[in-house]
């Protein structure tokens, strides 16, 4: 499949926020056979898009029309926060899966796109920018009102370190999202593209569970998802899952892999302090993502946890959606795949209708 990007990586985050998504056409209407359950909601499918590509209500509505049914509003904060400088995305010159033996390597980036969506791996570094809460709260209302029957809006939030209590800031952000009408709240505990510490709390069982506990208290009956990154040590993953299980309704992951990324001449690829290391997404991370999804599924079965599991990472084709569902996750989300192949959901629907 030839890439047809909806996000223009040659332009700034602000330009994409204001003018995107860049869609050439819409798919034909689909026929819904029957709904399925996710977090207690009746939804058309278990396929969606994680926090990242859906920058505002216009992006949410466009991708809802494209057939993605679980739609995560890009991570927001309790205060306006600018994006890192562009470029924010670059393609990686890497073939095949990244495995743990590759974790110490430096990856090479360029602006030259692979010829096939299945081969796309990227590095991205935005720093979780956010509008002022008043702006994003109003926009959440537009997003919620603009999607169709059987589609679910999820709002991703993050706390910001500083003089304030980080866990309390997570709770405040989640409360603001719930007050804006978010049917589901996700807290982003994993982002390698910030330099102030809030992106690595998922590795700490004690602190991550304190955040999820306080957030759940703040939002009450609104379902809570936590987004985590890759944890290579199975025993640590088990501790993180066990610590958070009492407070959450779902666990989503993974949210990129962290690597040092350079230009072909060895210089830092993404400009700015603290950006030598950035998040890696796309085809290369699918192996790690599936490994972690399977580990969480096994933990859930072993300990009889009642949370749901969202598989994320390297989903580039409809076959990849089925592979993730095959390991026992409750939902699957695609970011890079959906950005460069906006018809991915439509093809998945077509194939499922013929099965």
Please state the domain extents for the chain: 32-85+128-257+283-353
331 vs 324: CA distance, rounded Å: 8
- Least confident window among 192-196, 295-299, 328-332: 192-196
| pLDDT value at residue 293 | 98
Cis geometry, peptide bond prior to residue 87 (ω within 30 degrees of 0)? yes
Cis geometry, peptide bond prior to residue 254 (ω within 30 degrees of 0)? yes
Residue 340 neighbours by CB under 8 Å, 6+ apart: 3, 4, 5, 6, 117, 120
- Least confident window among 118-127, 129-138, 282-291, 345-354: 345-354
Instruction: Point out the residues that are catalytic.
Output: 191
Residues facing 279 on adjacent strands: 124, 258
Residue 136 neighbours by CB under 8 Å, 6+ apart: 73, 76, 130, 180
pLDDT in tens, 171-186: 999 999 999 999 999 9
Q: Domain 32-85+128-257+283-353 belongs to what architecture?
A: Alpha-Beta Barrel (3.20)
* Residue 132 DSSP label: -
140 vs 170: CA distance, rounded Å: 18
Residue 200 neighbours by CB under 8 Å, 6+ apart: 190, 192, 229
5 vs 24: CA distance, rounded Å: 10
CA–CA–CA angle 87, 166, 296 (5° rounding): 75
pLDDT level of residue 198 (50, 70, 90 thresholds): very low
pLDDT in tens, 10-65: 999 999 999 999 998 888 888 888 999 999 999 999 999 999 999 999 999 999 99
Give the pair of three-digit tokens for residue 113: 């796109």
Q: Is 300 exposed, middle or buried (0-12, 13-18, 19+ CB in 10 A)?
A: buried
Strands 89-92 and 257-262: unpaired
Asked if residue 202 has pLDDT above 80, the reply is yes
User: Global pTM?
Assistant: 0.96
What mean pLDDT, rounded, does the chain reach?
Answer: 94
pLDDT in tens, 207-239: 999 999 999 999 999 999 999 999 999 999 999
Q: What is the mean pLDDT of residues 187-215?
A: 79
């Amino acid at each position: 499949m030839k890439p047809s990007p909806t996000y223009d990586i040659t332009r700034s985050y602000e330009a994409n926020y204001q003018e995107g998504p860049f869609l050439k056409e819409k798919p034909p209407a689909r026929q819904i056979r029957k709904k399925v359950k996710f977090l207690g909601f009746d939804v058309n499918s278990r396929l969606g898009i994680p926090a990242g590509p859906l920058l505002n209500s216009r992006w949410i509505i466009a991708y809802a029309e494209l057939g993605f049914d679980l739609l995560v509003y890009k991570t927001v904060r309790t205060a306006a926060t600018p994006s890192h400088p562009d470029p924010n995305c670059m393609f990686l010159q890497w073939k095949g899966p990244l495995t743990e033996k590759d974790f110490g390597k430096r990856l090479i980036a360029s602006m030259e796109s692979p010829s096939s969506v299945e081969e796309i791996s990227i590095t991205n570094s935005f720093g979780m920018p956010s509008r002022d809460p008043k702006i994003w709260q109003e926009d959440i209302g537009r997003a919620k009102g603009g999607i169709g029957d059987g589609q679910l809006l999820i709002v991703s939030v993050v706390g910001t370190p500083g003089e304030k209590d980080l866990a309390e800031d997570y709770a405040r952000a989640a409360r603001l999202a719930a007050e804006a009408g978010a049917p589901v709240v996700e807290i982003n505990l994993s982002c390698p593209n910030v330099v102030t510490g809030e992106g690595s709390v998922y590795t700490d069982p004690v602190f991550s569970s304190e955040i999820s506990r306080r957030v759940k208290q703040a939002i009450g009956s609104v379902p809570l998802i936590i987004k985590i990154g890759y944890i290579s040590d199975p025993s640590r993953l088990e501790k993180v899952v066990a610590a958070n299980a009492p407070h959450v309704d779902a666990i989503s992951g993974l949210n990129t892999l962290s690597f040092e990324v350079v230009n072909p001449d060895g210089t830092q690829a993404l400009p700015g302090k603290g950006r030598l290391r950035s998040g890696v997404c796309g085809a290369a991370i699918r192996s790690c993502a599936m490994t972690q999804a399977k580990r969480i599924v096994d933990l859930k079965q072993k300990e009889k946890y009642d949370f749901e599991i969202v598989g994320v990472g390297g989903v580039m084709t409809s076959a990849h959606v089925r592979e993730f569902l095959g390991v026992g996750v409750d939902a699957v989300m695609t970011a890079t795949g959906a950005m460069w192949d906006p018809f991915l959901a439509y093809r998945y629907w077509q194939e499922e209708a013929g099965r």
